[in-house]
Amino acid sequence: MMLRIKRVPTVVSNYQKDEAEEGARRVEGCGRNCLNQCCIPGAKLPLYAFKKRNVNNGDTGVPGHDKREPPVAFLDSLLLGQWEDRMQRGLFRYDVTACETKVIEGQYGFIAQLNEGRHLKKRPTEFRVDKVLQPFDSSKFNFTKVGQEEVLFQFEASEDGEVHFFPSAPIDVENSPSVVAINVSPIEYGHVLLIPRIFERLPQRIDRESFLLALHMAAEAGSPYFRLGYNSLGAFATINHLHFQAYFLDVTFPIEKAPTKKISTLNAEVKVSELLNYPVRGLVFEGGKTMEDLSYTVSDACICLQENNIPYNVLISDCGKRIFLLPQCYAEKQALGEVSAEILDTQVNPAVWEISGHMVLKRKKDYDEASDENAWKLLAEVSLSEERFQEVNALIFERIASGNNGNENLPEDPEVKPRSHEEVDTTINKSSRTAMVSGTQECIVLQ
């Protein structure tokens, strides 16, 4: 089945401007109208102030509870409307709407896209791929270096518990607002970046506050076809500046259709399940008495993976009500020569979107020959072994249990008992390989 979307002309580079227009426009500071101190004084951007969803405000914590009309349609008018405006202005590196896309016939319904432009014009990775946690390096590319024209709006919690929209609001550098910007190397229609607390220059690592912000964005969008994704370092993040990705695609992802097996329900009523019959092993989190319950449980799990140097990807689905956590080890296997030449020749880097079933292919040959079998074969290289996956689960459950002094988020009715931390340590020590970083076995990192 072919998917078709409107094609809009664009140009190759962010900085490919019409000379007459550029000459008529006065730009202060460094001349690039960026988000650094040289250009930011006096600058203004639209501001969308969302209502926090929690029981303390008198709602249920479930997205969509408040039925009052917002001052602006967040997804259609603001996000997608502003994204199309930037496309008309030629701010993207290539025309993603001209990319061929199809749903592959077969049991799983993998989605294939031929995107040769992303391969040729995407920014290169500028850091080591064997460390999940690395310090922020201001000399490398980061999002304070983008032009202000690439930023769509500021995204902040409302101070009075109501939704507000301000078409032009000052940028409060001291309070470091979160912003939504275009991804100039887009994968799909409406591809944007959520950059939490941009001026704090946070490295690419999950924290509780930032992850909750991402769930609020998913809830504000209010569409199951608008999803957010996260890639850690070592799992094909290419910029070491904290950000989530998001875009709109009105097809159900294969991972969203995959069967699951319940592992446990935690005290905060967060249900944890395991993916079944899917090429990548992962956990699925849903439920919770409040949005915070769900968010903090998942963010604590992510923090556990980070601290143990385990690369991972996250898909935020179903308006923020369903979250997939996917530890992976493709980059390490690749470095060790354990990935077949056939897979390597595709030049596909399996990040969150590919793992979710949206295969971004760089060669027409791979697109023409796309099949369930080929997609499964590639994604299977990403997955931890069953043994290693259960060891990682044990680490995650221990972290979740200790996240609130051991009194909350404990498993109430586990159907699959994770191994204890001591058992994990014993297994890892027995099968350790040379120069292995703590927390890795199959995904070893050479020092």
One-letter amino acid at 314 equals: V
| Segment holding 156, helix H or strand E | strand 151-157
Question: Per the residue annotation, which of 191, 241, 243, 358 is the catalytic one?
Answer: 243
Spatial distance between the Cα atoms of 248 and 257, rounded to a whole number of angstroms: 17
Per-residue CA distances from 315 to 15, 298, 430 (Å): 31, 11, 33
List, as one string, the DSSP characters of 44-59. EEEEEEEPP-SGGGTS
Structure tokens, 25: 């426009």
User: Three-state DSSP class for 85?
Assistant: helix
- CB-CB contact of 205 with 332 (8 Å): no
How many helical (H) and strand (E) elements, i.e. helices and strands, does the chain have?
13, 16
CA nearest neighbour of 104 among 361, 300, 277, 410: 361
CB atoms < 10 A from the CB of 398, how many? 16
Beta strands 283-287 and 111-114, pairing class: unpaired
Q: Does the active-site annotation cover 216? A: no
* Secondary structure in 3-state letters for 277-313: CCCCCCEEEEECCCHHHHHHHHHHHHHHHHHCCCCEE
Distance of CA 85 to the CA centre of its chain: 23
One-letter amino acid at 316 equals: I
Cα torsion angle, 218, 267, 262, 207, sign: positive
Write out the catalytic residue numbers: 243
